[in-house]
Structure 1
Amino acid sequence: MHTQTDSTPHWDWYRSFLAVLETGSLSAAGRAMGLTQPTVGRHIDQLEAALGLKLFIRSFDGYAATEAALELKPYLLQLAAGEAALRRVASSHGQGVQGCVRISASEVIGVEVLPPMLARLRQQHPQLVVELVLSNRAEDLLQREADIAVRMFRPTQEALLVRRVGEIELGLHAHRDYLAREGTPQTQEQLEGHALIGFDRESAFIRRMQQQYPLLSRGRFALRSDSDLAQLAALRAGFGIGACQVRLASADPRLVRVLAAEFAPRLETWVAMHEDLRDSPRCAVTFAALVQGLAAYAEGG
């Protein structure tokens, strides 16, 4: 183990540490950061010396994180998020709406729903830069991993400004060619003979859905994916029957809704940001645009 020194770790050392944690090797971390392998290795050595800790076990096939490294990781992720937030705030100072705003949204919302809203926003404020994080994970607004989040559940954290924009209805859909080939189910029981598209790993939301719709269980799915976009692509390709946002499917004449009376769950939709950002022009206009746009989407307008 390295002996502890009085050297204060530099942020570049931490960045290299996180990159090696993510990639598992100096060379891959160097490529990701635009640094040479020796530079990344020197950063790791310097950080270990400064902290007095062994962070990685070196082996012929890469760098394996030690227990100490794994314990440090969440704190360094907070530092990285804070540094990114600092840069966004610094970029926003000046006349008018400008700078960078970071938005977190689920895959389907981020890819299929938000782009027209963001395009209009950019036309109105050409100095605004958008960072769009596609994630089904709840980004932590309090740790500034994102400035604004679109969520399909009510945020419960304190110190957040939240707006409920409505409910988005889900429905079972299939490509018209699939239904022409395999037939259209008239009851939930008739789903038994169809190729169903669904999740791979359970979540709290999925468990609630299964209680209401027991036929939509993992063992019955012919295609399993935790990616909403992958499920949507399978629907559009005619693989089988799966859940999709009704408003989204209605825009594609190839997709036909089935069992509308029996399957019509609704997702509450919220837009949230840290209340400290309410006076930030870049965040305020983006928040308002998302609230207005998503409310119209949820209402079908």
Structure 2
Amino acid sequence: MGKSTNLDNKHKIIYKREKNLDEFLTQSEIKKLEKINQKFIKKIIMIFSTFIKSDIELNFHTVKINSYTNDDKNFHYLYSNSLKIKPLEKKSFIFFSPNLLSVFIDFLFGGNGNTINKIDIKKEITYSEDFVNKKIVEFIIDTYCKSCKDFFYIDIKFLNFNIIDLKKNFFSTNNPFITNYFDFNLNGIKVFFSILIPLSIIKQKNKKIITSLDTNISSKNTILKENIFIEHVCEIELDVIVELIISSVPKNKFDNLREGDVLLIENPEKVTAYIEKKPIFSGKHKIFDGKSIIFLENFFN
């Protein structure tokens, strides 16, 4: 491990950074990640404490590359939640310690967790584990997305929940993951979870977000499709018009349209953007943090 720093005396956030982290991330990217994790920890502790009606303390958290936990060799099985990060369509994961769900369930049913000593995971997931898992993952996803919003926008969707065998699953070096590991103390019991996100999310090589439905875009040396060419310009503003995609309308119905008539929109999220009356790209309209945004999906030839 690298340095260990007390970042916040009130919340006792003990952070341990891996020595090789700077081989994958720049210093500014590392600082961005650290700030996200600090915000996330403070919020998730409050949410979890309210959920199980018990105090929760953070022991420490670490940031690593391509690891399921802080020390993978100590575990055979983990609870695994597969996720999808939009708009980049990247896969992500949340892993739980073998005892996390059983400890949370015990607290929820009035226990204090100290009777739970679950090291091994059963092959079959119970209804209670599935229900509580979805609730906890929902808390983690929502809190992590909100913690990221000052730096970039991500939309995380839950895919599935299962049990993973660490001896049979290995990371691909072609698609490295950042492992955000969080170790907690619940009434003297250690539980942990890890959030794994693709390295490319932090690097944001593919960030394509328009922050308004009808706005101006600042661009430098930008080439737009269909003969719209801008070169050697430090800053220029382009008017972008975004239109909803309306379903087909028969000609006889169109000829008889009157004020107050209603047209069906089959997919209200789908939009097309135009610059100087030329269709440039299509995407999906979303509301995030009170603002209208568009996920770019396709550029037109």
Q: Normalising by the residue count of structure 2, what TM-score does the alignment of the two structures yield?
A: 0.26
Normalized per residue, the structure richer in helix is 1
Structure of higher RCO (CA pairs closer than 8 Å, 6+ residues apart)? 1
Q: Normalising by the residue count of structure 1, what TM-score does the alignment of the two structures yield?
A: 0.26
